[in-house]
């Protein structure tokens, strides 16, 4: 561990009683401490929320999301996790109590340097303003270092994002604000940069419209919105996944080469790409909502969730088409699918390459040739399909996968942090590289605003829990000439009889 130059580190989790804190935030904090990424003797993790908890009950709640075989290590972690119950998010005395608790912990530290306070705000945008104002007024360390991590969704649309930005800017410097999108902590997403701009000329020289027919992003979850119905009713899946997580993956896959790997240059290249994106047209969006499974009585319809309105139009599935107005990507569709309660869990970005017009081994009609996939789930891998001959009689052409599976121990360190661990640690260190700057956060809404507002006025198409999604999606994909399959293992059942100087003379069925 690189020694952190702080006398004491206080990480305050707002929304500590929520689902995200239990499943993601506290497990990440525990792992950072257990793997010696944070100084154990001078770091505390303070929970803050409106829920009333006895300390024992709070510790029981957050420990239920932590996987640890060492109870002694877990117990020591919980000793560093006090909880403050806030009367309300706009209640000044509550923040004064929070400040007093942090100050008491800081006074007990024996470290050197300045004190660091990191406030992690995992709350609805509607309360960001109250929380920010009270933090700045009552709990901002006047002589130490302060940082605020803002969890998505960053507003609900372009206008609300601007309002939120202005509010934060009136209270904090941009250096103090860290807008988190956990997809930017994923190795599968970050790997796009070295794949494109590293020593891989076979990729970098073909990463454009001259060679790529279309790009797909396929995000599927086999589970529904159980327990999050109230959230989905307000935000829907385009806001929840497509406008932020998947958009970040697309930005890195589509942007031009930054001048350097500095924070400023990477952020400028990302913003340039977003500015080149056309607003997504409502006519290029399919939305759906899942109904109950006909096979499994436990897989209930979205509207069967007691936290969901019975007349809800919230989308749990969407497929959208994004176009980029620049020389690299003009007329290349980026087709994005995301959905809950589908037939599998999968997350991958794929470039579908054109078949050269003079190819001696053309692909099947309507299909692309080579594909290159960056996969995050079900396994973390890179897969390039290459056209070759299938062993055996005749001359059957095979799309064979050339793959790197990162579950192989030779490719990984002994400690592989989760995306949340990576980003929380970066925020502690003050590194903004993999966080979203203000202008980028606002401009991303400009791309999606029209599509989101239109989708909220439409009745979502129905699809059964456990299916592939709305059947109507196939019409859109057919119109675009797009398929999400990567072609791994696909064969063409036509033998090419080769002779006369290597020219293809005839086509014949394989004997």
Q: What is the mean pLDDT of each run of 10 residues along the chain (511 residues)?
A: 84 94 96 94 95 94 91 95 96 97 94 94 90 97 96 91 95 97 96 95 95 97 86 89 97 98 98 98 96 96 91 95 98 97 97 86 66 95 89 82 89 88 98 97 96 94 97 93 73 42 33 32
Give the span between the Cα atoms of 105 and 22, in whole angstroms.
23
Which pair of tokens denotes residue 241? 């996944």
Per-residue tokens: 320: 């959208």
Contacts of 116 (CB under 8 A, 6+ apart): 4, 6, 8, 9, 10, 144, 145, 146, 147, 428
DSSP code of residue 120: E
Distance CA 360, CA 500 (A): 14
pLDDT at 367 (0 to 100): 61
**Taking the CA atoms of the chain, what radius of gyration do you get in angstroms?**
25
CA angle 64, 65, 68 (to 5 degrees): 85
Do β-strands 145-151 and 114-121 pair in parallel, antiparallel, or remain unpaired?
Answer: parallel
Domains of the chain: 6-151 (3.40.50.720), 185-254+277-419+449-482 (3.30.360.10)
pLDDT of residue 227: 72
Q: Decide if 159 contacts 172 (C-beta within 8 A).
A: no
Q: How far apart are CA 476 and CA 481, in angstroms?
A: 9
Burial 486-495 (b: 16+ CB within 10 A, else e): bbeebebebb
Q: Residue 65 has which token pair?
A: 């999301």
Number of C-alpha atoms within 13 angstroms, CB side, residue 21?
A: 25
Nearest to 255 by CA among 197, 171, 173: 197
pLDDT at position 396, please?
81
Of 255, 290, 260, nearest in space to 275 by CA: 255
Element holding 383 (H helix, E strand): strand 381-389
Token representation of residue 71: 């109870």
186 touches 419 (CB < 8 A): yes
Q: Which residues are catalytic?
A: 245
4's torsion region: left (phi>0), alpha (psi -120 to 50) or beta? beta
Q: What pLDDT is recorded for position 493?
A: 46
**Dist CA 460 CA 290 (whole Å):** 9
Helix or strand or coil: residue 296? coil
Nearest residue to 116 (alpha-carbon basis) of 138, 92, 94, 148: 148
- The residue among 443, 446, 454 whose CA lies nearest residue 283 is 454
Report the alpha-carbon distance of residue 139 to residue 117 in Å, rounded.
9
Q: What is the pLDDT of residue 494?
A: 43
């Amino acid at each position: 561990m690189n020694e952190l130059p702080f006398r004491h580190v206080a990480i305050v989790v707002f929304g500590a009683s929520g689902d995200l804190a239990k499943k993601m935030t506290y497990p990440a904090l525990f792992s950072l401490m257990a793997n010696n990424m944070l100084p154990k003797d001078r770091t505390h993790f303070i929970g803050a929320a409106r829920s009333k908890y006895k300390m024992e009950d709070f510790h029981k709640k957050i420990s239920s999301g932590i996987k640890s075989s060492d109870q002694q290590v877990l117990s020591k972690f919980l000793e560093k996790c006090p909880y403050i119950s806030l009367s309300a998010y706009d209640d000044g005395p509550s923040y004064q109590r929070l400040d007093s608790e942090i100050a008491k912990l800081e006074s007990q530290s024996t470290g050197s340097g300045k004190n660091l306070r990191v406030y992690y705000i995992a709350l609805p945008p509607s309360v960001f303003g109250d929380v920010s104002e009270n933090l700045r007024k009552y709990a901002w360390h006047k002589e130490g270092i302060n940082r605020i991590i803002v969890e998505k969704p960053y507003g609900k649309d372009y206008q609300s994002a601007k309002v939120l930005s202005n509010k934060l800017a009136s209270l904090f410097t941009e250096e103090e604000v860290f807008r988190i999108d956990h997809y930017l902590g994923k190795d599968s997403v970050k790997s796009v940069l070295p794949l494109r701009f590293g020593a891989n000329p076979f990729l970098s020289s073909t990463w454009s419209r001259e060679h790529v027919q279309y790009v797909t992003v396929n995000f599927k979850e086999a589970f529904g919105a159980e327990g999050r119905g109230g959230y989905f009713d307000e935000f829907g899946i385009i806001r929840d996944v497509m406008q932020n997580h998947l958009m970040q993956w697309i930005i890195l896959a589509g942007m031009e080469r930054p001048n350097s790997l500095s924070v400023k240059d990477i952020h400028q290249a990302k913003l340039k790409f977003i500015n080149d994106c056309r607003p997504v047209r409502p006519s290029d969006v399919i939305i759906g909502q899942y109904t109950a499974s006909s096979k499994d009585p436990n897989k209930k319809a979205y509207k069967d969730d007691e936290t969901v309105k019975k007349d809800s139009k919230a989308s749990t599935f969407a497929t959208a088409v994004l176009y980029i107005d620049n020389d690299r990507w003009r007329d290349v569709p980026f087709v994005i699918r995301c959905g809950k309660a589908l037939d599998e869990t999968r997350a991958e970005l794929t470039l579908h390459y054109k078949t050269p017009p003079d190819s001696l081994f053309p692909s099947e009609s309507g299909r692309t040739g080579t594909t290159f996939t960056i996969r995050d789930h079900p396994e973390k891998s890179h897969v390039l399909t290459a056209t070759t001959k299938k062993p055996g009689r005749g001359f059957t052409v095979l799309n064979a996968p050339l793959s790197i599976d990162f579950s192989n121990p030779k490719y990984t360190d002994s400690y592989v942090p989760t995306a949340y661990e990576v980003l929380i640690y970066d925020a502690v260190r003050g590194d903004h590289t993999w966080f979203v700057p203000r202008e980028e956060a606002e401009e991303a809404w400009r791309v999606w605003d029209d599509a989101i507002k239109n989708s909220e006025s439409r009745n979502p198409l129905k699809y059964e829990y456990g299916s592939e999604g709305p059947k109507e999606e196939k019409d859109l994909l057919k119109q675009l000439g797009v398929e999400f399959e990567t072609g791994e293992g696909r064969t063409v059942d036509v033998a090419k009889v080769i002779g006369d100087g290597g020219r293809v003379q005839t086509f014949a069925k394989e004997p």
